Structure 1
Amino acid sequence: MQDQTTAGNLLRSMRANPPLVQCITNFVAMNIAANVMLAAGASPAMVHAEEEAGEFAAISGALTINIGTLSAGWLVGMLKAAQSANDAGKPWVLDPVAHYATAFRRKAIAQLLELQPAIIRGNASEIIALAGRASRGQGVDSRDAVEQAEESARQLAQKHQCVVAVTGVTDFVTDGQKARRIAGGSPFMPQVTALGCSLTCLVGAFAATTPDDPFDATVTALTVFAVAGEQAGAVADGPGSFSWRFLDALAGLTPETLDRAARISAA
């Protein structure tokens, strides 16, 4: 990330002009994802119905698609929204939740990948499996380390000409050429449901802010999560108190603090 486009500067830009982000996410994630977006400074819209998803994508700054609680009707809406975002020149982010678990999910993810997401965000097991390799994932849970998914992420990024983010203890982001690792967060984060899904939505907010640079947008979103998570984790007593403290940390995070606390390294 270049000096003039630091994470802090991108956070300042995002808040100065809060982007409308269409978040097609799962039932479990809707509430926490919307709260995360609002706390960070973005404007979420949980619009997924096939009758309006495509139309809404055209007026949004970005689109995020999460297949966590997939159904036939939702898939139609997802496909229409992704195509509409492409037609309107808007970036969209794909979260391939447990895409390997069933034939329905495998077919759905293949259809969505054909529509060329700008960014893919997943856990290590999801990214390894998406690259056609054997993973140890079980349902939505990752049983693989981020480091084991780095080569798969590079291959996916090159194949689909997109940015790929693998999130875990230390996050990894690549566009197939350059790559970054982002450290931070808290051990409480995996104990709070749907924070990863919420992160996908926040990636969409930064992609809307800097649509021509999905790599820096992704690195910034992950850095915001890492820094806020670390701050909340330092004072939380457990996952319950971490959840609300994390929202407070997101809302109180300043661009200056973000740049000072960011732990981004070349990979």
Structure 2
Amino acid sequence: MEQTPTNIPGHLLTAIRERKPLIHHITNMVVMNDTANITLAIGALPVMAHAIEEVEEMVGLAGALVLNIGTLSPSQVEAMLRAGKQANAKGIPIILDPVGAGATRLRTETALRLLSELQIAVVRGNASEIGALIGVAGETRGVEAISVSGDPESIVRNAARELGSVVAITGVRDLVADATRLARVDNGHPLLATITGSGCMATSLIGAFLAVAPDPLEAAVGGLVAMGLAGEMAAPRSGGPGTFRSHLLDAIAALDEAAMNQGQKANFA
């Protein structure tokens, strides 16, 4: 039986706006501007610091670390490991976005290496990417998921147990699980699938929520509710993907605690 969670994530948005945490991104070049802007719009402060020489110092100032493997290079992997180990030493939560895992050996092996060498609070990806991390067959074309064998709820539960992290699978229905709990988030709009980087932006939002939430599962739910609800708000004002992107940013900035509490479509199983 589905139950509404007692902790609705709206109060976390207020905490982000009050604290303005720094969110350190080591991320992909394709949507770096979008992820920086959506982090600002939610009320946090983004920094995109990739240089090996500064990542350990920079992450020490941050409330959360976002790792995104969308445009990989050997130096970036080293930077992620250095920043991640420093974050772990200082108790700073990490979110990993395994973009394109399953598409190439480099992407899959890099994601698994980061999961092996670092303590990752949240992993967010599509069903094919998450499935690839636990050996579930799927098809990824470039960085887009085409198909995955198996039930997404089973995949997200099994991944959470095997990876030892909160795992979020985003899609028509977003799923978030840890070793014992499962949350379903039904906020969203089909236009979110028409713009590049909507998943990466959701990861950045979760990073902002991680910086203020003691519970990584609650942070993941908060970030996904914010993204989906903003999509619902932006879609009626948009003429297509181009205008939707700008209205989405406006909608994130316009969110407040009351709007999240009233508009959220999240429940725990």
* TM-score (norm. length: structure 2): 0.94
SS at match of 1:142: strand
Question: Which of 34, 38, 63 is residue 61 of structure 1 equivalent to?
Answer: 63
Q: What is the aligned counterpart of 1:20 among 10, 19, 22?
A: 22
Spell out, residue by residue over 1:69-98, the C-alpha distance to the aligned partner (whole angstroms, 9 max, x if none). 000011100010111110111100000011
Q: What amino acid does structure 2 have at the position aligned with 1:228?
A: A
Aligned residues of 1:98 and 1:140 also touching (Cα < 8 A): yes
Residue from 135, 141, 157 that aligns with 2:160: 157
- How many residue pairs were aligned? 265
CA distance in 2, matches of 1:179, 1:147: 17
Q: 2:142 matched to which residue of 1?
A: 139
Q: Structure 1: how far apart are the matches of 2:66 and 2:33?
A: 15
The answer to whether the 8 A contact 1:146-1:171 is kept is no
**What RMSD, in angstroms, separates the aligned Cα atoms of the two structures?**
1.6
Distance in 2, matches of 1:77 and 1:159, equals 25
- 1:128 is matched with 131
Question: 1:206-263, CA deviations, whole angstroms, 9 ceiling, x for partnerless residues?
Answer: 10111x2101010000000111101101221111110111111111112101111111
Once the two structures are aligned, what percentage of the paired residues are identical? Answer: 41
Instruction: Select the residue among 34, 37, 40 that pairs with 1:35.
Output: 37
* Matching residue of 2:115: 113
Q: Shift of residue 112 of structure 1?
A: 0.1
Range moving further from structure 2, 139-148 or 103-112:
139-148
Amino acid at match of 1:260: Q
Preserved contact between residue 123 and residue 146 of structure 1 (Cα < 8 Å):
no
Aligned mates of 1:2, 1:167 — CA distance in 2: 19
Q: How many angstroms apart in 2 are the aligned matches of 1:119 and 1:83?
A: 15
Name the CA distance, whole Å, in 1 between partners of 2:52 and 2:177. Answer: 32
**Structure 2: distance between partners of 1:182 and 1:150:** 12
Which residue does 1:245 correspond to in 2?
A: 247
Which residues of 2 match residues 100-249 of structure 1 at below 5 A?
100-114=102-116, 115-144=118-147, 148-210=151-213, 212-249=214-251
- 1:133 is aligned with what amino acid? V
Structure 2 gaps of 5+ residues are none
Distance in 2 separating the partners of 1:259 and 1:178: 21
Work out the CA distance in 2 between the residues paired with 1:136 and 1:92: 27
Q: Contact 2:137/2:149 (CA < 8 Å) preserved in 1?
A: no
8 Å Cα contact 2:65-2:95 kept in structure 1: yes
Asked if the contact 1:124/1:146 (under 8 Å) is kept, the reply is no
Aligned to 1:260: 262
Does the aligned pair in 1 maintain the 2:122–2:167 contact within 8 Å?
yes
Following the alignment from structure 2 to structure 1, what is the Cα–Cα distance between the partners of residues 123 and 100?
13
TM-score (norm 1): 0.95
Cα displacement string for residues 97-118 of structure 1 (whole angstroms, at most 9, x for unaligned residues): 1122223223312210111211
1:130 is displaced (CA, Å) by: 1.1
Unmatched runs of 5 consecutive residues or more in structure 1: none
- Is the CA contact 1:124–1:148 (under 8 Å) kept in the aligned structure 2? no
Which stretch shows the higher mean deviation, 120-129 or 144-153?
144-153
Could you say if the C-alpha distance between residues 25 and 158 of structure 1 is closer, same or farther in structure 2, counting changes exceeding 3 Å?
same
